Amino acid sequence: MAQAAMTRAKEKRWAIIGEDGRHVWMGRHSDPTEAEIAQAESALAAQGLAGWLAITEGDYWAKRGRMGFVMVRPLAAPASSFEAGTAAFEAARKAKLAALD
Backbone angles phi, psi at 94, to 5 degrees: -65, -40
Are 41 and 50 in contact, with CB atoms under 8 Å apart? no
C-alpha angle with apex 30: 85 to 45, nearest 5 degrees?
Answer: 40
pLDDT-derived band at 9, boundaries 50, 70, 90: low
User: What order of strands is seen across the sheet that includes strand 68-75?
Assistant: 23-27, 12-18, 51-57, 68-75
Burial of 87 (0-12, 13-18, 19+ CB in 10 A): middle
Per-residue pLDDT tens digits for 24-68: 999 888 999 999 999 999 999 999 999 999 999 999 999 888 899
pLDDT-derived band at 4, boundaries 50, 70, 90: low
Per-residue pLDDT tens digits for 75-88: 999 999 999 999 99
Give the separation between CA 89 and CA 85, rounded to whole angstroms: 6
C-alpha angle with apex 72: 68 to 73, nearest 5 degrees?
Answer: 130
Give the separation between CA 51 and CA 4, rounded to whole angstroms: 31
